[in-house]
């Protein structure tokens, strides 16, 4: 019997690990399109990008681990097709590989900027370890960059570029960075943070063109005609789930591969986890696709059990973190689209030491601790309990979080 994992990121490597922990001792093949051992991406826009950590640190396991666990690791090997009826896969080398169970952990790919000039040299994206190294070399060689998109990756890259002494312009279509996640009041904290670090943050602007000379980017033209000169342009406008393989095989795809709470696709022998999975979440009674590290770390425990025919449900709350300059934060929970402006703040926004709670009616649905630590568990308990809270107690740092409910 052969189990195959397609995709070589955190979700893939962790699923292999849990399968072995759970006693699966059959053949296990991990086909990974990239030429590197499976690795974690958060350092690629933080310490690794800033040259503060070694490459070895990004790998989920070293090469010896795959050998000792008898994982047949095929690096630089893409799964090109799924023959569901024949229970077999096409691999990029031409091999046909049979499978009894298949996990799709193909992740996501950066969205491309659809404007003239986007193919010029010096226009960079950040997803892979190679991208991160290219960007690090670029930051060491240029004096200015323009970053298109003030999302998490754009802002982390802005912080890394400032640390490298590079002049930074950030160009964002919305009125605030991270507006759709954080709402305007908390998003303003990130505007202030970056402006204090001399980032030229331009909000509510549209990029119409990347300008160039001799095939190389020279800056960005905005829709209002303004030109932002830059030696390199970094695009961080989000990522799209890598669903091509699943869609071609006739699996249900809708903003990701649609899976149930046990991470099973519409085919009983195929499963999905990580950025690519749009999973039914029992707490929200809805499908949720989470593009964050903790999801890729924790879904494999469920995916592996489901592959082994056990009953398992993924119901962890979405969680992510960021580090920018001296701001560290963790965010947990989920707000409804368009419902992120009802916020209670405990602490001080100006000194950037606070917890923000997003409320839906009188219930906490999300919380973000900024430079305040060891509070994730009580925040998650507040969200999970669904109990109404007293807003003034919630805002009072002297009231323990469990005592804020009514």
Ligand X SMILES: Cc1cc2nc3c(=O)[nH]c(=O)nc-3n(C[C@H](O)[C@H](O)[C@H](O)COP(=O)(O)OP(=O)(O)OC[C@H]3O[C@@H](n4cnc5c(N)ncnc54)[C@H](O)[C@@H]3O)c2cc1C
The binding site for ligand X (CB under 6 A) comprises: 6-12, 31-34, 41-42, 44-45, 78-79, 105-108, 126-127, 153, 242, 245, 274-275, 291-294, 296, 320-322
Q: How far is the CB of 207 from ligand X (least distance, A)?
A: 20
Among the listed residues 163, 146, 141, the one whose alpha carbon sits nearest the alpha carbon of residue 45: 163
Q: How far is the CB of 126 from ligand X (least distance, A)?
A: 5
Q: How far is the CB of 272 from ligand X (least distance, A)?
A: 9
326 versus 362: smaller Cβ distance to ligand X: 326
6 versus 343: smaller Cβ distance to ligand X: 6
44 versus 258: smaller Cβ distance to ligand X: 44
173 versus 240: smaller Cβ distance to ligand X: 240
CA dist 388 and 364 (Å) reads 8
Say which residues have a Cβ less than 8 Å from residue 243's Cβ, sequence separation at least 6: 106, 253, 256, 257, 276
Q: How far is the CB of 321 from ligand X (least distance, A)?
A: 5
Q: What is the residue whose two structure tokens read 């790998």?
A: 59
260 versus 341: smaller Cβ distance to ligand X: 260
Please state, in angstroms and as integers, the Cα–Cα distance from residue 73 to each residue in 3, 14, 67, 146, following that order.
12, 13, 8, 38
Among the listed residues 36, 7, 38, 61, the one whose alpha carbon sits nearest the alpha carbon of residue 303: 7
Q: How far is the CB of 216 from ligand X (least distance, A)?
A: 24
79 versus 120: smaller Cβ distance to ligand X: 79
Say which residues have a Cβ less than 8 Å from residue 333's Cβ, sequence separation at least 6: 317, 318, 358, 364, 365, 366, 367, 379, 380, 383
CB 247 within 8 A of CB 253: yes
Among the listed residues 388, 404, 72, 99, the one whose alpha carbon sits nearest the alpha carbon of residue 267: 99
12 versus 159: smaller Cβ distance to ligand X: 12
CB 279 within 8 A of CB 298: no
Return the SS3 of 190: helix
Q: How far is the CB of 29 from ligand X (least distance, A)?
A: 11
Q: How far is the CB of 392 from ligand X (least distance, A)?
A: 32
- Supply 73's token pair: 């690791």
CA dist 166 and 164 (Å) reads 6
Among the listed residues 15, 63, 7, 2, the one whose alpha carbon sits nearest the alpha carbon of residue 295: 15
CB 28 within 8 A of CB 20: yes
244 versus 400: smaller Cβ distance to ligand X: 244
Q: How far is the CB of 38 from ligand X (least distance, A)?
A: 7
Task: Return the number of other C-beta atoms located less than 10 Å from residue 138's C-beta.
Answer: 18
104 versus 359: smaller Cβ distance to ligand X: 104
177 versus 274: smaller Cβ distance to ligand X: 274
Q: Are strands 216-222 and 227-229 parallel, antiparallel or unpaired?
A: antiparallel
Return the SS3 of 235: strand
- The continuous run of DSSP H or E covering 101 comes out as strand 101-104
Q: How far is the CB of 10 from ligand X (least distance, A)?
A: 4
Q: How far is the CB of 319 from ligand X (least distance, A)?
A: 7
Q: Could you tell me how far CA 148 lies from the centroid of its own chain?
A: 17
């Amino acid at each position: 019997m052969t189990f195959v994992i397609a995709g070589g990121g955190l979700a893939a490597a962790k699923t292999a690990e849990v399968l072995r922990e759970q006693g699966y001792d059959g053949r296990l093949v991990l086909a990974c399109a990239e030429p590197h051992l499976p690795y974690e991406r958060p350092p690629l826009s933080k310490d690794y990008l800033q040259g503060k950590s070694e490459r070895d640190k990004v790998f989920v396991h070293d090469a010896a681990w795959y050998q000792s666990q008898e994982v047949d690791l095929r690096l630089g090997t893409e799964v090109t097709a799924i023959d569901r009826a024949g229970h077999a896969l096409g691999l990029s080398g031409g091999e046909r590989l049979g499978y009894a169970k298949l996990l799709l952990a193909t992740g996501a790919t950066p969205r491309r900027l659809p404007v003239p000039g986007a193919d010029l040299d010096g226009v960079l994206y950040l997803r892979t370890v190679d991208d991160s190294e290219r960007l690090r070399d670029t930051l060491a060689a240029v004096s200015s960059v323009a970053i298109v998109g003030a999302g998490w990756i754009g802002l982390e890259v802005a912080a890394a570029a400032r640390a490298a002494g590079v002049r930074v312009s950030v160009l964002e279509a919305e009125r605030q960075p991270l507006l759709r996640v954080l709402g305007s009041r908390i998003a303003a904290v990130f505007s202030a943070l970056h402006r204090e670090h001399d980032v030229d943050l331009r909000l509510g602007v549209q990029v119409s063109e990347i300008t160039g000379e001799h095939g190389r980017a020279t800056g960005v033209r905005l829709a209002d005609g303004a030109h932002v000169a830059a030696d390199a342009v970094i695009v961080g406008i989000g990522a799209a789930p890598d669903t091509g393989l699943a869609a071609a095989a006739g699996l249900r795809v809708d903003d990701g591969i649609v899976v149930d709470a046990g991470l099973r696709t519409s085919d009983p022998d195929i499963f999905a986890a990580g950025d690519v999975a749009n999973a039914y979440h029992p707490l929200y009674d809805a499908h949720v696709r989470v593009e964050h590290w903790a999801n890729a770390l924790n879904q494999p425990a469920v995916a592996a059990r489901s592959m082994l025919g056990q009953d398992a449900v993924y119901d962890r709350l979405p969680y992510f973190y960021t580090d920018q300059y001296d701001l560290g934060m963790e965010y947990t929970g989920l707000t409804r689209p368009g419902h992120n402006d009802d916020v209670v703040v405990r602490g001080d926004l100006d000194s950037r030491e606070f917890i923000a709670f997003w409320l839906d009616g009188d219930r906490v649905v999300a919380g973000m601790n900024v430079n305040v630590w060891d509070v994730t568990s009580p925040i998650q308990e507040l969200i999970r309990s669904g109990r109404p809270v007293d807003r003034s107690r919630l805002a009072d740092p002297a009231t323990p979080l469990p005592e804020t409910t009514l």
